[in-house]
Amino acid sequence: MAQAAAAKPFFYSLNGYTPQALEWANATSMPLFTYSADGRVLAQNSAAHTLAPGSARIGGGKLGFFEQARADKYRRELEKLRQDINDLTVLMHKRTQSRRPAVRRSAGEAGGLLLNASRTLDGSDVLPPADRRREDFHRAVRDALKLARRML
């Protein structure tokens, strides 16, 4: 009984965590871990590092001023891109109900682009917050959204 009372809850994920999940976990001191197919377990936030002090740290130390500004810019851009994907997805769903086959077909093609754009954004979550490679991911998503907007 004493062991159960002292138990600390935590989460494991294979695919990582959304920024909202990380924010919630940090606010509530919930330890988050990821694991890989080969069995490696990595702590993803400070609460997880306190449970597993020997685990590798992700992303290094604190960000400098310019790195923090760049990370904030990328975070704001990521939120805007996710909102654009959601808005276009709503429009795509409306267009799939059209009576005209050409409009439905175009909406279906746009849906594929939106799915790929969403997956591309999810793939960028594994990068450190201020990593400049995020610009490449965001550029690819913007191009896909521009094409999807034309189709809709």
- Work out the pLDDT band at 13, boundaries 50, 70, 90: confident
For the stretch 70-104, pLDDT in tens is 999 999 999 999 999 999 999 999 999 999 999 99
Higher pLDDT, 45 or 52: 45
pTM of the model: 0.60
3 state SS of 59: coil
Q: What is the 3-state secondary structure (H, E, C) of the chain?
A: CHHHHHCCCCEEECCCCCHHHHHHHHHHCCCEEEECCCCCEEECCHHHHHHCCCCCCCCCCCCCHHHHHHHHHHHHHHHHHHHHHHHHHHHHHHHCCCCCHHHHHHHHHHHHHHHHHHHHHHHHCCCCCCCCHHHHHHHHHHHHHHHHHHHC
For the stretch 107-126, pLDDT in tens is 999 999 999 999 998 888 77
